[in-house]
Structure 1
Amino acid sequence: MEQLRSWDLAYVAEPAAQIVGELAANAVTHGHVAGRDFHLALLAAETTVRIEVTDTRGDRLPQHGGGRGLLIVEGLARSWGVRSGPVPRKTVWAELALS
């Protein structure tokens, strides 16, 4: 995660990479619609790094306590959730605390 290194946040690069991998895999597996891709956003604030993956299957929302990938995200992230819209999209996000 070169972007995190450029922000002097290399110490969260490994858990962030694992979260990106899990959320991206879920977007490809469960959120894929032919001809549409997913979008990845990485945002850093004073106390948090936020990872967002948006896909175009807003009708398929992940659940807390869901599959193995989400259990990994739950274990690594301070918090995670889902934001619906705009139709037909959904964004699954996870936050890592910066210490």
Structure 2
Amino acid sequence: MTTPATPTAPSGLPLRAAHTFTQRFSSTPRGARLARRLAVLQLDRWGIPLGSELSDTAALVVAELAANAVTHGRVPGRDFELVLSRAPGAVLRVEVSDASGERRPPAPGSLGRPGPADDAGRGLLLVEALADRWSVHDRVPVGKTVRAEFDLPCRPQHS
């Protein structure tokens, strides 16, 4: 088991007062569905209400990344991992890791457009459209992590 890196803001500085949720799931469609469901419950606990725009958007991104981990990153007998981290007024980060380092998605900004008859190839296009940033990282000791980040609004300051 690997320990997730300390969450950082887009500037690269560590996030303060971050909340983190980490869970492993079976590399099955059922595991992917459960990841999505638990993610929205955790976001609600952190004050991102069920049914809000951010909750729905993050749920879609978790669903796409988990489905990719199950479909393209599955290694028999190995789970995938979901890590959510939130720093108030900074960033909500979604990370999905799998054990397959050989099959890496294209780099952000270089995704090809699927044809109208293609029945796959749209998941990361959705992630790219919905997230403020996304990236792919090597996972130690094996595999990869796909990360999507959402900038959170700063809470208004009271005078």
User: With structure 2 as the length reference, what TM-score do the two structures score?
Assistant: 0.59
Bigger strand share = 1
The aligned runs of 1:1-99 (5 Å cut-off) are 1-10=40-49, 11=52, 12-46=54-88, 47-63=90-106, 64=108, 65=111, 67-99=121-153
1:27 partner amino acid: A
Instruction: Give CA deviations for 1:54-85 in whole Å, capped at 9, x if unaligned.
Output: 00001111113152000000011000001102
* RMSD between aligned residues: 1.1
Instruction: Give CA deviations for 1:31-64 in whole Å, capped at 9, x if unaligned.
Output: 0011111000110013110000000001111113
The count of aligned residue pairs is 99
> Where does the alignment leave 5 or more consecutive residues of structure 2 unmatched?
1-39, 113-120, 154-159
Q: After alignment, is 8-17 or 18-27 more displaced?
A: 8-17
Return the alpha-carbon distance in structure 1 between the equivalents of residues 139 and 63 of structure 2.
Answer: 22
2:68 partner amino acid: N
Q: Which runs of 4+ in 1 moved over 2 A?
A: none
The structure whose RCO (Cα within 8 Å, separation 6+) is larger is 1
User: With structure 1 as the length reference, what TM-score do the two structures score?
Assistant: 0.93
